[in-house]
Structure 1
Amino acid sequence: MAARRDDIQGLRAIGVMLVAVYHIWIGRVSGGVDVFFIVSGYLVIGSLARQAEAGHAVDLVLFATRLARRLLPASLLVIAVIALSAPFWLPRMRWETVIDQLAASSAYVENWYLANAAIDYLARDQVGSPLQHYWALSAQVQSLLILAVGLAVFTFIRRRPSRVSLLAFLTGTFALSLAYSVYATSRNQAFAYYDTFARIWEFALGGVVSRLLPNIKLTSIQRTIGGWIGLLAILSCGILLEVSTVFPGYAALWPTLAAAAILVCGDGPSLRFGVARLLGARPLKWLGNISYSLYLWHWPILVLYLTLSYQTSAGIVGGTGVLLVSILLSHVTTQLIEPRFSAGKDRPLPTAIAATGALAAIATGLLIWNGQVSRMMNEERLRVADAAHYPGAAAINEPFPLSSEIPVHPGPLTARWDDADVYRLGCHQTLLGTSLLSCVFGPADAPHVLALVGGSHSVHWLPALQRVFSRYPGWKIVTYTKSSCVLSAQEMSESPEYRQACAKWQEQLMKRLLSEKPDLVFTTSTRVVGGIEDTPAGFRQQWQRLTRAGIQVVAMRDTPWFGFDVPECVEINGRFSPKCVVKRDLVLSRSSPASALPPGEKLHFLDFTDFFCTSEACPPVIGNVLVYYDRHHVTATYMRTLSDELGRQLAPIIRDAAGSGGRYG
């Protein structure tokens, strides 16, 4: 039996306070979760390894029972509280996502849910849910179970393995998972961040430390220096590294090796100036005892505060309140809830029955809530956006009675889905995809083609273009679009893996366009980067290649980018709230940067920003129609209200492209 080490509780306290402080005040990731991971590996996997070394088989049922009794009470309590309270304070547009995440968190697969959301371009701008911190708990449970199964199989084969063989097994697991983590992070960091298999090495490292520790002999000076270096490394990790964009991979060795140094250097007799004396102090021990519950509570309390106050950061006073409330709830949970389930004998059947009952209760509540959401969504979808009540763009500069009696369309539950058809048809390429996908809208045998190309800001013009070209039986629309990949000879994305995928896709796109020569190419003419609107040289290079080949290009000025979630702002503050309006000069230049370029015979610039903004401001709702379904993508409903004006401006270009003998209606 390993001696109890108070410094480990202090290490847990440091880890959870880093997580909470960075979430509440700094808005970054600290690396504190990785400290939790190695401590869990040290304690849990180290304990299993000691049992195996003593000749005891790894009892997976008993292991799962103890793990469930330790983790489930507090975890399911927080989930239940969120499920019961969320309908009363959470904006309706987040309900569907939160219901999905409640289910994923209850099943301990939240990390995989977020891994898939992380590579969904249209989901990246969504506001954080009160459940997303459960990714770490999910990855922890999965990693510990995988390692336990691995140890069970290994001990079954080796019967009574030696310390050396166990160390070899854990070291091999560590090396394989770390190698995979480095590879996965280089290929797709956003997905790898939540990938269990890219995290197993952190828990295995804790197990390695537990098996090596008896053979490590350090002097007092070495232990003192090594411990303080480890603590300083943990504290500085989140300051010096942008953890959320580089972890896991080799970068995660920073906090994990630092934690390992503390585990090694804190073992043994207490040193007067050693780090273990600080970490073993009563306040840190107390925080360490409630660290698990504090991790569970701090995030939903923060999301609750930010939602109700409609702020993006907590501030000193608000953040202090969030932290104190979280600590209070964590103390109550640790004192009153956890002991009721962790005391007594390890009996698998009662534990399984209790866990099943709790999950069944949560599932029942989610089914009822989901049914209510489905009914409300159907009501929103059945709402007819007639021109009399929902003129949309026609009301931007015309007298139109403002009334809150007519509900905004699309509503909060359906706004996220009010987008172009290409997403549902599967012909819009993802961030990492490279193949050239396309959809055809209109008669398949139509002699004339408009090619809609570029990123998602090209896509959101599709609903308007569909209405325009429905009047031209001799035309069809063919789409070639990819998330965050505009028509440019220069790579625009900040992410290396996205740039690489975009470059491959662009190469195929230009070959297709130059070989098939559509009559018109419709794309965007400007891009907003760092608040500055620009027409990059890479745009102009691609336009020149197309026009030299005889292809006419229509380049539309990009629509405004808001700094907040527009539908959520409207739901919380109301359509007329100044909080949901942005000043025009903050999101758009005085004139389109493309207008300064020399005009070309086959190059046409369009600017529809006056249909999104008045001379002073850009409103979130125009003519009772919600303009955006997130921070910057335009709803299909609003785009359709632009079709008449778009058709009027495109008419001469269409006639010219079709030629005098063309069928242009």
Structure 2
Amino acid sequence: MSAVTTSNSFRPDIEGLRALAVSGVVAFHFGLTQLPGGFVGVDIFFVISGYLITRHLQQEIARHGTVNLWTFYARRARRLLPASLFVILVTLVAGYFILAPSEQQLYSKGALFASTYIINLWLIRWSLDYFAVDASNNPFIHFWSLSVEEQFYLAWPALLLLFARMRPGKHGVLLLMIGVAVISFALCAWLTTVSQPWAFYFSPLRAWEFALGGLASMAVLNNWSRRFSYSPAMGWLGLVMIIAAYLSVSEESAFPGFIALIPAAGTVMVLLSGVHESLLGPRRILALAPMQLTGKLSYSLYLWHWPVIVYGTMLIPDLTLIHRVLLLVLTFALSLFSYHFVENPIRQNKWLVAGTRRSLVFAGLLTVTGVTVAYASATLAKHNLTPQQQAILETAERPSAVRAKDKSCVLDLETVKPKPCVFGAQSSSETVVLFGDSHADHWSTPLVDIAEKDNLRLVTYLKSSCRATRITTRDSKLRREYTECNDWRELALKEILAMKPRTVIISQLAISNLPNEIGDPSEFAARKQQWAQGLKSTVETLGNAGINVVFIRDVPTHTSYLDKCVARALWQKRDPSVCDTPRAAAADDNDARIEEGIISGIKNARYVDMTNFFCSDTRCHAMIDGKLTFRDRHHIATPYAESLAAPLERAIFKQSIAGGVKVQPISDKNPEKRAAFQLQ
């Protein structure tokens, strides 16, 4: 026999589910690659919230025929806002010492939107911007799910109360929830393939997960177990579905969409199975002491873990396992502190509990405080934006010569029809073509200077994330095979062949990045062979037509975003050389030798290696001659690209660079120039 819990009973299995949810999220963000889908823990939280809130509201409607909305909002405010504001304030203060002023200014906006529970809307706009700064540096990005929950808490009670007052019949609320679930899920699944940021961040498109929890709650309240058996097997199956999602879903998946059904449905099954206190179900495992402690701290753990790992990675870019364990310990310590000294004391404060108006006024004060401090932080950051910091910011933001003329000259992901853009001497009989992706575009700045000086006609064929090599890759933003690239490449090659230019210059993202663009790592060896064949095919097509082909080796890829890293280093009074990357990690010389062997064996083709303008024998440098080398991890900063016009001209048009190139450190005791390097 198994006992059935009453609707008001404490459910230790729900606390265990919270532990499972937050553990997945923390493991994912702390870099546990064995759980690539740990982020779906957020979906578990959404279903649990829908279950608990619907249960509470339905019970109140059953007892009193209505819901006291203000009392409900007051309880939610006491539960969520104090800990949230505390984390926001501490994160802002810590950011003053860790982040560069330009980052402080930007992320203070995140703090402001987090304080007003609309950061998810800000992130939609940010995610849709192709040139948006790296989201992994934003210490407030995880507040998006809290904003979605707050928006749910605001709308759901009012909607249920409206239906209760309309008295639509016995199954009115049930039909409401089914309708919300079906419509929300259908739109979510559709937009996942059309505009994934909307499907991911927009609360109405996540409402189906809350509605699923609500339906599970109604099943328990209406004792549907008389008709359906909530067996232990259902709970185990649900748990398996959650674990399967953790193990199989990844950032490359079309998420949320249909895939989110797996953890959401699994959570519903565990919730329903837990109604029975069965010795055979997963309830006993979820009720274990470690799970209960973690579940109790789940809200605080979720709040703290992200800023801890973000700031930890900024201070120690190459985190070891020991570093990550220490950061996890720090996360638990901060969570325990805020739970016992902020979250619980304020939630249970007798003076606040005694008056709904007091709690609401207090919530308003917390919100105003968050907004005020965030605004003050942004203002202070603007004041601290010194000329040196401003110069780094302007360097990173300065577009290439092509983008400065017309951003559309570098095609977006979905455009197929080539757009040739002409620079230099428009009527010259000497035509040179630049062909490739954004890694060709960053060479456009010195090439435009060369074209103008030498009376050349420079024509560009450029497309974002699209190599000149004939190979099909997956695009991380489209989350599918990048077929538009294949179509554009063939059309561009056809136009280039018809143009019969003197020279075609090719540059593109290195093959060493290919593992990030294929679904199964075991396919890499075969894909590498396809890459070699595709590279040979493209270059031979041009070379056999009598066109000179110059293939520029790809630039190094740094471990950190150099604009931010250098700005932080200067703000922290550290040497910018801390942002250098070991050459072995930044530039794959073995793949380059293979690439050079392919090119050198093709008629009319040459291979140009400019790596020594970025790296010494051991390190690739963040600054050279006092200039920032890259605006991010692997796109050349435009001012530094300008300085390479003369050696690039010699390399491409004069066959070789006489005497070779060496990058040597300057022996200078001035901290600001210690990381500067000379070209000799």
TM-score bin (small chain): 0.7 to 0.9
CA contact (8 A) 2:580 2:620 kept: no
Aligned with 1:485 (options 463, 466, 489): 466
Deviation at 1:259, TM superposition (A): 1.3
CA contact (8 A) 1:190 1:245 kept: no
Report what 2:435 is aligned to: 453
Q: Which amino acid aligns with 2:480?
A: E
User: Counterparts of 2:202 and 2:345 in 1: how far apart (Å)?
Assistant: 34
Q: Which amino acid aligns with 1:481?
A: L
CA contact (8 A) 1:125 1:630 kept: no
CA contact (8 A) 1:627 1:635 kept: yes
Structure 1 residues 109 and 220: CA distance shift in structure 2, 3 A: closer
Aligned with 1:416 (options 380, 392, 396): 396
Q: How many residues align?
A: 618
Structure 1 residues 525 and 628: CA distance shift in structure 2, 3 A: closer
CA contact (8 A) 2:434 2:459 kept: yes
User: Alpha-carbon deviations, 1:15-71, whole Å to 9, x = none?
Assistant: 223322443361544122111100111122444456667895677766655544433
Report what 1:529 is aligned to: 512
CA contact (8 A) 1:83 1:365 kept: no
Report what 1:561 is aligned to: 557
Any residues of structure 2 matched to 1:341-360 within 5 Å, and which? 343-347=353-357, 350=361, 353-360=364-371
Structure 1 range deviating more: 593-602 or 32-41: 593-602
Report what 2:319 is aligned to: 312
User: Counterparts of 2:208 and 2:97 in 1: how far apart (Å)?
Assistant: 41
CA contact (8 A) 1:13 1:288 kept: yes
CA contact (8 A) 2:599 2:605 kept: no
User: Counterparts of 1:370 and 1:224 in 2: how far apart (Å)?
Assistant: 56
CA contact (8 A) 1:188 1:497 kept: no
User: Counterparts of 1:168 and 1:118 in 2: how far apart (Å)?
Assistant: 34
Deviation at 1:220, TM superposition (A): 12
CA contact (8 A) 1:584 1:613 kept: no
User: Alpha-carbon deviations, 1:341-400, whole Å to 9, x = none?
Assistant: 962333386256424522442243133134225x42x54456xxxxxxxxxxxxxxxxxx
Report what 1:302 is aligned to: 309
Aligned with 2:112 (options 99, 103, 106): 103
Question: What SS does the corresponding residue of 1:591 show, helix, strand or coil?
Answer: helix
RMSD over aligned Cα atoms: 3.8
Structure 1 residues 36 and 74: CA distance shift in structure 2, 3 A: same
Aligned with 1:196 (options 190, 198, 203): 203
Aligned with 1:646 (options 645, 648, 656): 648
Structure 1 range deviating more: 439-448 or 319-328: 439-448
Q: Given the alignment of the two structures, is residue 230 of structure 1 paired with residue 238 of structure 2, yes or no?
A: yes
Report what 1:20 is aligned to: 26
Structure 2, unmatched stretches of 5+, are: 1-5, 516-527, 656-680
CA contact (8 A) 1:381 1:414 kept: yes
CA contact (8 A) 1:559 1:632 kept: yes
User: Counterparts of 2:603 and 2:249 in 1: how far apart (Å)?
Assistant: 50
Report what 1:371 is aligned to: 382
**Could you state the TM-score of these two structures normalised by the residue count of structure 2?**
0.79
Report what 1:41 is aligned to: 50
CA contact (8 A) 2:89 2:373 kept: yes
Deviation at 1:175, TM superposition (A): 1.8
Q: Which amino acid aligns with 1:483?
A: S
Deviation at 1:471, TM superposition (A): 0.7
Question: What SS does the corresponding residue of 1:245 show, helix, strand or coil?
Answer: coil
Deviation at 1:457, TM superposition (A): 0.8
Deviation at 1:475, TM superposition (A): 3.6
Structure 1 residues 193 and 463: CA distance shift in structure 2, 3 A: same
Report what 1:3 is aligned to: 8
Report what 1:385 is aligned to: none
Report what 1:389 is aligned to: none
Identity %: 28
Report what 2:676 is aligned to: none
Structure 1, unmatched stretches of 5+, are: 383-410, 654-665
CA contact (8 A) 1:562 1:587 kept: no
User: Alpha-carbon deviations, 1:623-642, whole Å to 9, x = none?
Assistant: 33232232222211221121
Q: Which amino acid aligns with 1:248?
A: P
User: Counterparts of 1:627 and 1:336 in 2: how far apart (Å)?
Assistant: 51
User: Counterparts of 1:342 and 1:223 in 2: how far apart (Å)?
Assistant: 42
User: Counterparts of 1:514 and 1:147 in 2: how far apart (Å)?
Assistant: 61
User: Counterparts of 2:451 and 2:159 in 1: how far apart (Å)?
Assistant: 60
CA contact (8 A) 1:584 1:616 kept: no
User: Counterparts of 1:652 and 1:9 in 2: how far apart (Å)?
Assistant: 70
User: Counterparts of 1:186 and 1:172 in 2: how far apart (Å)?
Assistant: 22
Deviation at 1:521, TM superposition (A): 3.3
User: Counterparts of 1:352 and 1:502 in 2: how far apart (Å)?
Assistant: 51
Q: Given the alignment of the two structures, is residue 607 of structure 1 paired with residue 609 of structure 2, yes or no?
A: yes
Question: What SS does the corresponding residue of 2:315 show, helix, strand or coil?
Answer: helix
User: Counterparts of 1:83 and 1:335 in 2: how far apart (Å)?
Assistant: 23
Report what 1:326 is aligned to: 334
Deviation at 1:162, TM superposition (A): 3.1
CA contact (8 A) 2:51 2:214 kept: yes
Report what 2:297 is aligned to: 290
**Could you state the TM-score of these two structures normalised by the residue count of structure 1?**
0.80
